[in-house]
Amino acid sequence: DTGVSQDPRHKITKRGQNVTFRCDPISEHNRLYWYRQTLGQGPEFLTYFQNEAQLEKSRLLSDRFSAERPKGSFSTLEIQRTEQGDSAMYLCASSYGNSYGYTFGSGTRLTVV
């Protein structure tokens, strides 16, 4: 297993369009996290899954954001009706059980024009 994979690496979209990102975690990891990072800031929590169950979603996350993890494997993050303020790096991370150190992917950089 080569680590956490995210696709695409870069996405440029027009305001108002929908986008979907994919994350493939390390196969034996049961926890999967989505974070958002803007320039000069630390990663900001969006949501996390344990297996297929979404256990928490940030209160900062609008209804335009939705995430899924069918069958507890890969995950998708969808942003509907994108806004310029959605431009950021979207990071996926995974961990195994009580191992609280995360393995991050390289991120998907979203630019909304």
Q: Which residues bind other proteins (CB under 8 A)?
A: 4, 33, 35, 40-45, 48, 50, 55-56, 91, 93, 100-107, 109
Distance of closest approach, residue 27 Cβ to other proteins, in angstroms: 18
**Judging by beta carbons within 10 Å of its beta carbon (0-12, 13-18, 19+), is residue 13 exposed, middle or buried?**
middle
Distance of closest approach, residue 16 Cβ to other proteins, in angstroms: 27
**78/40 Cα distance (integer angstroms):** 24
Q: Are 67 and 78 spatial neighbours (Cβ–Cβ below 8 Å)?
A: yes
Q: Which is nearer to other proteins, 4 or 112 (CB)?
A: 4
